[in-house]
A and B are shown apart, each in its own frame.
Chain A
Amino acid sequence: MKKGNTIFFKNRPCILSHAAVCGSKEKEGVLGKYADVTLQDDMYGESTYEKAECKMLSAAISLAIKKSGLGEDKIDVLLSGDLLNQIISASFAARDFKFPFLGLYSACSTMSESILLGAALVNAGYVNTAVCATGSHFASAERQYRYPLELGCTRPPQAQWTVTGAGGLVLGRAQKGIKVVNGTMGAVCDFGVTDVNNMGAAMAPAAAQTIISHFNDTETSPEDYDLILTGDLGALGSRILKDLTWEKGYDISSRHVDCGEIVYKVIESEFQGGSGAGCSATVLNSYILTKMNAGLYKRVLFAATGALLSTVSSGQGESIPCISHAVQLEV
């Protein structure tokens, strides 16, 4: 069933298992205790950062499958994507597995897009199980989007730090566990922000738009959720999101948490927090889902945001189109 932009999953696909891998800097924060694998060295024993990113993603996928207790032959499809050009990490990680692979690109909101699509496939009965995964690496993202690592340049206070990490989960059918109840598909939203260092301000309107259309379609209000989780808006973007939703009559401030804000210790005058596809993927698949299983949160709205820009578009002076997809998770 569909109402507005929201698809309702009648058969309630279930998250069978989840796994997260995180880097050495992330280990020091909240993720350290909850991630399945933490890296000592961000190269992960590989010769390049791109290979390390690919290996992290592959590790997150195989760990999630292993924890689900299903064999690899029982997995029907892998939905994955990442930030690098031609989504090489996801495609190369998919080489390690025999099951089919559908490549996605939705920048940092790839995790919520993959859950939404995976849940739709499982709900309809086209597949029995689907793996949704994504990841990012600080060094490979810096190289593609910004400057060489060793270049001595300053970072503006609006900047965010790409999370080194990957997360994956297995969707299937089960009686007990965390269910994917519905998902709101986001529309591309562009408020004319051109500053590539200010992703929070660019992405906040997209998050606000999706969250509000979710409330309207499901006839719920912020108080109905234990947690409204956004991906990587950072401290500044989170403040803007709260303002934008408040303007439309929804006060989410007491329920809202941003993955980018909790992954590192944020000093707002210096930097805004974590970003990247791996940011929401690692936080959701380690801390949040563990706490949901433990019963701390009953109902979570997960709305990751993505900035759909490239170095070419920003070089040509284009503004940054952004997107946000939301899924509602319930125990």
Chain B
Amino acid sequence: MTGRTRENLNTNYLNYVKTQDPPTKHLKNCAAAFGVGGLICCIGQFIRYMLQYAGLTGDELAGSTSVILIFLGCLLTGLGVYDRIGRYAGAGSIVPITGFANSVTSPAIEFKTEGWIYGMAAKMFTVAGAIIVFGVFSGVLVGLIYLFV
């Protein structure tokens, strides 16, 4: 078979597969993400009010709220609950800061069997590394725009 006919065959087959594929339920996924993501944010806001009530202000208030949410994310990951929430909610539980905590904690737990240094510590950022790189990059970009505008 020459390259060209092979390509044609492949395109035909891939188009055929597309017609057989069970479709991804975008609407249902969006609704679940909106509901669960919103709920996590509400919990965050509730924690914030509570801390404000306790007398925290400004950066201290924002920092403490994040720390508590990160702790909850790690705890639920360790208890094996967060992946179940994630399977249902998708982006709704990935985007909030609890999702970031989950993406750091889950490889740390997984690779612990390969040792504390080369396993747990070195592989902790296999998933979150990308988030950090692009997070920092977009932070710099927005900072530059802010500087010049």
Contacts and interface: CB of A to CB of B under 8 A. Distances in A.
Interface string B61-94: 0000000000000000110101111110110011
Contacts of A236: 20-22
Interface stretch (B7-15, B42-50, B51-59, B134-142): B7-15
Contact of A158 (B21, B94, B127): B21
Nearest to A191: B13
B109 interface: yes
B18 to A, nearest CB: 9
A157 interface: yes
A314 interface: no
Interface string B1-33: 000000101110110110011111100010000
Interface size class of B (residues with CB under 8 A): 35 or more
B11 to A, nearest CB: 8
Interface residues of A, number: 29
A148 B87 contact: no
B44 to A, nearest CB: 17
Contacts, number: 96
Contact of B22 (A149, A153, A158): A158
B60 interface: no
A48 B87 contact: no
Contact of A148 (B9, B29, B85, B127): B127
Q: Is the interface of B mostly helix, strand, loop or mixed?
A: helix
Given A191-B13, A236-B22, A152 B102 contact: yes
Nearest to A270: B22
Given A191-B9, A191-B13, A154 B106 contact: no
B9 A154 contact: no
A118 interface: no
A151 B17 contact: no
Contacts of B105: 150
Contact of A150 (B9, B22, B24, B80): B80
B140 to A, nearest CB: 27
Q: Is the interface of A mostly helix, strand, loop or mixed?
A: loop
Interface in A152-196: 152-158, 191-193
A239 interface: yes
Contacts of A319: 10
Given A148-B106, A148-B110, A151-B102, A240 B20 contact: yes
A191 B94 CA distance: 34
A278 interface: no
B93 A152 contact: yes
Contacts of B82: 150, 152
Interface string B108-126: 0111010000000000001
A96 interface: no
A85 interface: no
Given A150-B109, A151-B83, A201 B17 contact: yes
Contacts of B127: 147-148, 151
A235 to B, nearest CB: 9
A243 B126 CA distance: 41
A269 interface: yes
B78 to A, nearest CB: 8
A98 interface: no
B82 to A, nearest CB: 5
Contacts of A198: 17, 21
Given A47-B113, A143-B110, A240-B17, A152 B24 contact: no
Interface of B: 7, 9-11, 13-14, 16-17, 20-25, 29, 77-78, 80, 82-87, 89-90, 93-94, 99, 102-103, 105-107, 109-111, 113, 126-127
Nearest 6 pairs of A and B residues by beta carbon: A152-B86, A192-B10, A148-B110, A150-B106, A148-B106, A151-B106
Given A152-B102, A157-B23, 20 more contacts: A47-B113, A147-B106, A148-B110, A150-B80, A150-B102, A150-B106, A151-B83, A151-B106, A152-B83, A152-B84, A152-B87, A152-B93, A158-B21, A192-B7, A192-B13, A193-B13, A240-B17, A240-B20, A243-B16, A319-B10
